[in-house]
Amino acid sequence: MDILIKIAQLFLCFTILVGIHEFGHFIMARIFKIRVEKFYIFFDPWFSLFKFKRGDTEYGLGWLPLGGYVKIAGMIDESLDTDQMKQEPKPYEFRSKPAWQRLLVMLAGVFMNLLLAIVIYCGICYTWGDAYFSNYDAKWGYNFNQTAQQMGFRNGDRFVSIDGKPIDNIAVLQNDLLITESGRQVVVDRAGEEVTIDISLDELIDMRQQKAFENLFTLRLPFLVDSVSFASASEAGLQVGDEIVGIDALQNADYLDYKKYIEAHPGEELVMSVKRNGARIDSLIVPVNADGRIGVITRSPYQLRTQQYTFWESIPAGFHKAGKTIANYWEQLKLIVKPQTKMYEELGGFVAIGSIFPSSWDWQDFWFKTAFLSIILAIMNLLPIPGLDGGHALFTLWEIITRRKPSEKFLLVAQYVGLVIILALLIYANGNDIYRFFIK
């Protein structure tokens, strides 16, 4: 059932993204009175799932979910229809229009995906606000996994800055740490003293390749007494508001470590140290019952901070989120093309994309992922690869600048080359999925 929910989210997301992208091309072509012969969500080699015709345009749903397309009359595109190009240009064809109009038609899909992301982010800000855990609330610091400890982090460290930039939102902390083309300098607060940890690029590359960034750090949970439920705990001296900071030889641990220690000593008496009103009280003798409990109820001190937005405030907030997402993804894309970062090994296909969706339906999360993927689709389509919008736009810009139009033969050959490049990227990305699933 979980996998079906993931597939349903992926399918709905792709339908929205491809539909809005192709609608951009479609509507801009119609504005300039260019005939659109086909409008398809997903590709339809050999057959389509359904189709109907209205006016000059055939609308349909293909069976191959690798994208979608609009077939614009008089344009060399992924349909590779050369018969039409052998005929004399007609006024309603793409090739008969001025270069600036053709450029706008090519870029309209990218524009619509960016606009969709902005609208979604604005809607998220207005509907749910901006909820996050603040690093400034992490007074007890973090617990770090083995890889982070090998880099120099210690349980209880609290982040101060990364490369001189202060840290607030914990949700983006890991991304800020990992997405870089060089090493990182991290300053942490360790028991009131600032400690600098230098992390090399090689260490970051190894961490990404080994997936060691999973649970890289987690909020450290203190043992705070919210209420006393056993008379024995009260008689031993425990009070509401106490923070247990030591049990026997186990000192300065977090709640889960203390809990495991208590459960491992049923029927015994433990020597505890607590903090109460800023003072430390040692040597409280607290009995453990046969079930491995001391008779207190704990509480978590952490709460989400939520920035609420009015309708008008949500608009600049949405633009800001979209801008930051674009900047972050562009940084990742630059790292992929740099061999020394080895981030090309992390490319994934449809399995990787589908895996980012949760196994239960959460509309807020769905729209977050849809906005993010919409930005990815926009940026990827802007790449100057023949067959993508960026490739078409590049040739049109060349025509505008040089006043010389590339020949149709050249455009056709470029389209073939572009399709080969795109197919190779698809095979590589989805091959990585298969490799990681079956071999790694």
Residue spans of the domains in the chain: they are 2-129+356-438, 131-221+302-307, 223-299
Reported as a single tens digit per residue, the pLDDT across 332-365 is 776 666 655 555 555 555 555 656 777 778 888 8
Instruction: Give 40's contacts (C-beta < 8 A, 6+ positions apart).
Output: 22, 48, 59, 60, 61, 62, 68, 69, 70, 71
Task: Using the predicted structure, report yes or no on whether residue 317 has a pLDDT greater than 80.
Answer: yes
Q: Do domains 131-221+302-307 and 223-299 have the same CATH topology?
A: yes
Contact 4, 48 (CB under 8 A): no
Confidence label for 131 from pLDDT (cuts 50, 70 and 90): confident
Q: What CATH homologous superfamily does 131-221+302-307 map to? A: PDZ domain (2.30.42.10)
Model pLDDT, residue 367: 92
Instruction: Give 300's contacts (C-beta < 8 A, 6+ positions apart).
Output: 221, 224
List the structure tokens of 423: 């197919």
Model pLDDT, residue 104: 93
Task: Using the predicted structure, report yes or no on whether residue 399 has a pLDDT greater than 70.
Answer: yes
Q: What span, in angstroms and rounded, lies between the C-alpha atoms of 190 and 156? A: 7
Confidence label for 374 from pLDDT (cuts 50, 70 and 90): very high
Model pLDDT, residue 237: 84
List the structure tokens of 235: 């008689």
Task: Using the predicted structure, report yes or no on whether residue 179 has a pLDDT greater than 80.
Answer: no
CA triplet 157, 158, 162: central angle to 5 degrees? 110
Query: Strand, helix or coil at 69?
Result: strand
Q: How far apart are the first and last CA of the chain?
A: 25
Model pLDDT, residue 176: 72
What is the percent of the chain where pLDDT is above 90? 12
Q: What span, in angstroms and rounded, lies between the C-alpha atoms of 235 and 293? A: 15
| Residue 185 β-bridge partners | 198
Reported as a single tens digit per residue, the pLDDT across 342-351 is 555 555 555 5
Reported as a single tens digit per residue, the pLDDT across 71-115 is 888 776 655 555 555 677 778 888 888 889 989 998 999 999 999
E strands, 35-183, in order: 36-54, 57-72, 130-132, 142-144, 158-162, 165-166
Q: Worst-scoring range by mean pLDDT, 61-65, 83-87, 196-200, 385-389?
A: 83-87
Contact 218, 149 (CB under 8 A): no
Q: Worst-scoring range by mean pLDDT, 66-70, 129-133, 156-160, 235-239?
A: 66-70
* Mean pLDDT of the 355-377 span: 84
List the structure tokens of 317: 């907030």
Confidence label for 139 from pLDDT (cuts 50, 70 and 90): confident
**Comparing C-alpha atoms, which of 375, 388, 393 is closest to residue 333?**
375
Query: Strand, helix or coil at 374?
Result: helix
Model pLDDT, residue 122: 95
User: Which carries the bigger pLDDT value, residue 437 or residue 52?
Assistant: 52
Q: What span, in angstroms and rounded, lies between the C-alpha atoms of 430 and 101? A: 36
Reported as a single tens digit per residue, the pLDDT across 34-73 is 988 888 888 778 888 888 888 888 888 888 776 778 888 8
Mean pLDDT (the chain, rounded): 81
Q: What span, in angstroms and rounded, lies between the C-alpha atoms of 309 and 296? A: 39
DSSP letter, residue 292: S
Q: Does domain 223-299 have CATH number 3.40.630.30?
A: no
Confidence label for 117 from pLDDT (cuts 50, 70 and 90): very high
What is the percent of the chain where pLDDT is above 70? 82
Q: Which helix (H) or strand (E) holds 195?
A: strand 193-199
User: Which carries the bigger pLDDT value, residue 75 or residue 184?
Assistant: 184
Confidence label for 379 from pLDDT (cuts 50, 70 and 90): confident
Model pLDDT, residue 108: 93
pTM for the full predicted model = 0.73
Contact 178, 217 (CB under 8 A): no
Confidence label for 31 from pLDDT (cuts 50, 70 and 90): very high
List the structure tokens of 33: 């009175």
List the structure tokens of 409: 């033969």
Total residues found in the chain within this entry: 440
**Comparing C-alpha atoms, which of 26, 104, 93 is closest to residue 59?**
26
